[in-house]
Amino acid sequence: MNTVMGQHLLIECRGEHASLSTDNLEELMTKAANASGATIIASHFHQFGGHGGVTGVLMLAESHMTVHTWPEAQYAAFDVFMCGNADPSVAANVIAQRFPTADVCIKKVDRGYSVETQNT
The answer for residues whose C-beta is within 8 angstroms of residue 50's C-beta and 6 or more apart is none
Q: Which of 68, 89, 105, 114 is catalytic?
A: 68
Known catalytic membership, residue 68: yes
63 as an active site residue: the answer is: yes
Q: Is 52 exposed, middle or buried (CB count within 10 Å of its CB: 0-12, 13-18, 19+)?
A: middle
Identify the active-site residue in 8, 13, 17, 83. Answer: 83
Question: Are 17 and 106 contacting, i.e. CB atoms less than 8 angstroms apart?
Answer: no
Q: How far is CA 56 from CA 20, 45, 59, 79, 115, in A?
A: 12, 4, 10, 10, 34
Which are the catalytic amino acids?
A: 63, 68, 83
